[in-house]
């Protein structure tokens, strides 16, 4: 495993080996069955290119009513629990005293991207956000704590983990594109990103 620091983002390249990645995918299957992926819309009504769902006590959602955390899937379903193996990654890398109450699950298919944004719907920004990459490579862009200015990018591969904390906690970040088919982890291709957060 290699550790990189880029603008305060703590990037652990190769943190999860292939066996661990495969195990996480298997843990996600019943979660995605109980709380299916859906395509959200922004408050302005624009459909996002990613599909998403969540696990944990709360899930992050967006629709015309705004960005927020809520205790139910948009279809009224309960969010499944976050698997212990995923919580163990949080504990190992953050050493935080609290466990996350949300694991946002984003699926990136061919041609999918995520614009620069801040994770700022949480109640307390002193807690870090932890991001796990599974599947196809993603070009991850890191900006500043305010819009505009120069950015830097790095390719994230399956098994990489990123910790956003401290000064980097409110930095803008996004995914410009994925290399569809670059990984064999997901039979149909694509990338799954797990984002662990303390929302309340």
Indicate whether 1 pLDDT > 90.
no
Provide the terminal-to-terminal Cα distance of the chain, rounded to the nearest Å. 32
Total domains in the chain come to 1
pTM over 0.85: yes
Which pLDDT tens digit goes with each residue over 111-163? 999 999 999 999 999 999 999 999 999 999 999 999 999 999 999 999 999 99
Which domain does 36 fall in, by range? 2-197
CATH number of the domain where residue 175 is located: 2.60.120.590
**Total Cβ atoms within 10 A of residue 118:** 15
């Amino acid at each position: 495993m290699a550790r990189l620091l880029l603008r305060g983002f703590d990037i652990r390249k190769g943190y999860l080996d292939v066996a661990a990645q495969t195990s996480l995918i298997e843990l996600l299957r019943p979660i995605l069955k109980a709380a299916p992926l859906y395509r959200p819309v922004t408050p302005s009504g624009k459909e996002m290119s990613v599909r998403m769902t969540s696990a944990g006590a709360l899930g992050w959602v967006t629709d015309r009513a705004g960005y927020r955390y809520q205790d139910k899937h948009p279809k009224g379903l309960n969010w499944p629990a976050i698997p212990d193996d995923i919580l163990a990654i949080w504990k190992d890398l953050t050493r935080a005293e609290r466990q996350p109450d949300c694991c946002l699950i984003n699926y990136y298919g061919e041609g999918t991207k995520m614009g620069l944004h801040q994770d700022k719907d949480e109640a307390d920004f002193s807690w870090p956000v932890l991001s796990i990459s599974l599947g196809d490579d993603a070009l991850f862009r890191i900006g500043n704590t305010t819009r505009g200015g120069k950015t830097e990018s790095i390719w994230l591969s399956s098994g990489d983990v990123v910790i956003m904390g401290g000064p980097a906690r409110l930095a803008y970040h996004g995914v410009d594109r994925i290399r569809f088919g670059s990984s064999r982890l997901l039979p149909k291709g694509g990338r799954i990103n797990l984002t662990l957060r303390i929302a309340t």
